[in-house]
Every structure is written in structure tokens, then in C-alpha cells.
């Protein structure tokens, strides 16, 4: 179990076992997005394959000192649970109440319903961070990454996945609340692990 109170000043434990922030922020994600994904994740080839790819990369580049992975913007916890089942300590950080609740239903112990800002994590307190299909929902992705770096410990790991290829932009991206897709020449297009120094 992770000691959430030791790394955050903005969270309180709810009766449902989920940590909540007292403030909320608007996010670029459909209000029914978590429920729509929850209905298909368990039986979806794409979600299962994506989890296998992510787990493979994380196994190749595990968090330092068996550190906990903070799955930021982790939705319904499908990736978090996949990482936990692969032997990693995971905390889900999800601003949507439905996503946080769905994650708890899936059996993940450490669930935070907040953004990184409203959670008020202490600087340099997170040993590893996962941003799995999150960056495209952030309008100012560069400043968001800088804020994440400030939350991470020295030598922490950062794992990122993003939707690829701008030429694939469609109405589905608009519906999902995406600001962009990523191309190999500008950003990563596959699971990535980097070390923060």
C-alpha cells in the first residue's frame, strides 16, 4: 500500500476507499467516455494488445528501486490493473469520478480522483509516471510535461503512449477531446520509457 498522505497535501480518503481532491478541474474528455470504454475494454483486442505492449516496455525499463507507477489520467484502470497483474505497484490518478469508481470495482487498491494539480503532490515525490494516451487531451502538452517533471523524483521513469499520425485525424479525435495526434518527427508514436535526471 502506498502512503498517499506522505506525498500529497490535497487529498482525503473517501468512504469508498478512493482518495479525492477538494477541487475539480475541467478536462478535455467526453463525460460518458469512461463508461463507454468500460463496456468494451475487457473484450477488446486493441485494449488487450496495448496492455501487453505497455507491460513489455515497463518490464524492459522497470521503475527504479521497485518504485510505484502513478498512472495519470488512467481512466477505468485497465492499464493500471494490467501493470499490477504484471507485478508492478500502481496508483491510478484519474480526474473522472466514473473512471475512479470503475477502477475501484476492478480491484485496484490505490485510486486517486484528481488531476495532478488538484492532488497537490509534493515536488519530486513520484518514482514513476505513466501517461497512457493522455498527452493528446492536454492543450499545452509541453508545459504539462514540465509540470510532471517537477513531480518526479530524480532518476524516475516516465512512460508515454500517444495516438499516432496526424493524417489519421478524424471526427473520433474531436469526439474524444483530442487536441492533436503525434508524428514520429515531432513526438513519440509508440510506448516510451525515459529516465528523469
Please tell me the distance from the alpha carbon of residue 168 to that of residue 88, in angstroms, as a whole number.
33
Please tell me the distance from the alpha carbon of residue 165 to that of residue 161, in angstroms, as a whole number.
13
**Cell 482518495 sits at which residue?**
19
Average pLDDT over every residue of 22-45: 76
pTM here? 0.86
| CA atoms 74, 173, 178, 10: torsion sign | negative
Please tell me the distance from the alpha carbon of residue 71 to that of residue 130, in angstroms, as a whole number.
5
Q: Give the residue, 176 or 170, on which the prediction is more confident.
A: 170
**Cell 487498491 sits at which residue?**
109
Condensed to tens digits (0 to 9), the pLDDT of residues 62-117 reads 998 879 999 999 999 999 999 999 999 999 999 999 999 999 999 999 999 999 99
Q: What domains sit in the chain, N to C, each tagged with a CATH number?
A: 21-195 (3.40.50.150)
Amino acid at each position: 500500500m502506498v502512503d498517499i498522505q506522505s506525498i500529497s497535501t490535497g487529498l482525503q480518503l473517501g468512504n469508498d476507499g478512493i482518495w479525492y481532491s477538494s477541487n475539480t478541474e475541467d478536462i478535455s474528455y467526453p463525460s460518458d467516455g469512461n463508461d463507454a470504454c468500460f463496456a468494451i475494454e475487457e473484450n477488446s483486442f486493441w485494449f488487450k494488445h496495448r496492455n501487453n505492449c505497455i507491460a513489455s516496455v515497463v518490464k524492459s525499463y522497470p521503475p527504479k528501486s521497485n518504485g510505484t507507477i502513478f498512472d495519470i489520467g488512467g481512466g477505468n484502470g485497465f492499464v493500471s490493473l494490467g501493470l499490477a497483474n504484471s507485478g508492478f505497484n500502481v496508483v491510478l490518478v484519474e480526474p473522472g469520478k466514473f473512471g475512479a469508481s470503475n477502477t475501484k470495482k476492478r480491484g485496484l487498491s490505490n485510486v486517486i480522483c484528481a488531476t495532478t494539480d488538484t492532488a497537490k503532490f509534493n515536488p519530486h515525490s513520484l518514482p514513476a509516471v505513466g501517461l497512457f494516451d493522455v498527452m493528446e487531451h492536454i492543450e499545452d502538452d509541453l508545459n504539462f510535461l514540465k509540470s510532471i517533471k517537477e513531480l518526479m523524483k530524480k532518476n524516475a521513469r516516465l512512460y508515454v503512449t500517444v495516438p499516432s499520425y496526424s493524417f489519421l485525424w478524424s471526427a473520433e479525435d474531436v469526439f474524444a477531446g483530442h487536441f492533436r495526434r503525434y508524428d514520429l518527427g515531432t513526438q513519440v508514436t509508440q510506448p516510451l520509457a525515459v529516465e528523469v535526471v
